[in-house]
Amino acid sequence: MQIAVISKTPVQSLKPVKMKLQNIILVLLALTSCQQEDTEKLEQQILEADRSFSKRASEKGIAEAFLYYADEKVIKPTAGQQPVVGKYALMEWYKKNPPGNYTLTWEPLRAEASGKLGYTFGGYTLVTKTPDGKRDTTQYGNYVSIWKLKKDGSWRYVIDTGNPTPQQVVLP
């Protein structure tokens, strides 16, 4: 019977290797923890940007809010038409299609982020006046906005789209 020699290294010389491996594991765990904290911070920033976006829409108007929060390279899908591409084109689109007599508010229900990109998903409420102006009608829907972190630290949406739902949106 022969015994295979795995290593000629004495057992004592493995201790520094084991210590180095433990240190590497600790550093990796710390980095993962920091990354998770950074991700949570980014998600909170996006949620705040989205809530501020909704507040601006209710206070200053839909066109003003959508233009203010739009990235320069925004893509804005529109129902039954080609998407509007670019902030200047969005500005021109709102000139030709001014918002009617309605209010639009929304609340993000979920956000995720990594690096310089993230998204929000939520529900919206659209309140319009009937043609005679005597009563309001309320419609609900869901939306997704994709956000980009700018060099100045602000978040701007690069894509925003939504669709109607039969009632208010809730997530399980």
Average pLDDT, the chain: 84
> 14-165 sits in which CATH class?
alpha beta
Q: Please check the confidence at residue 2 and state whether its pLDDT lies above 50.
A: no
Give domain limits for the chain.
14-165
pTM of the model: 0.77
pLDDT, residue 79, reads: 87
**Nearby residues of 107 by Cβ (< 8 Å), 6 or more positions away:** 51, 54, 122, 123, 124
Residue 78 DSSP one-character state: -
Residues in the chain: 172
Joined tokens for residue 42:
């980014």
Tokens 């009608």 identify what position?
137
pLDDT, residue 102, reads: 86
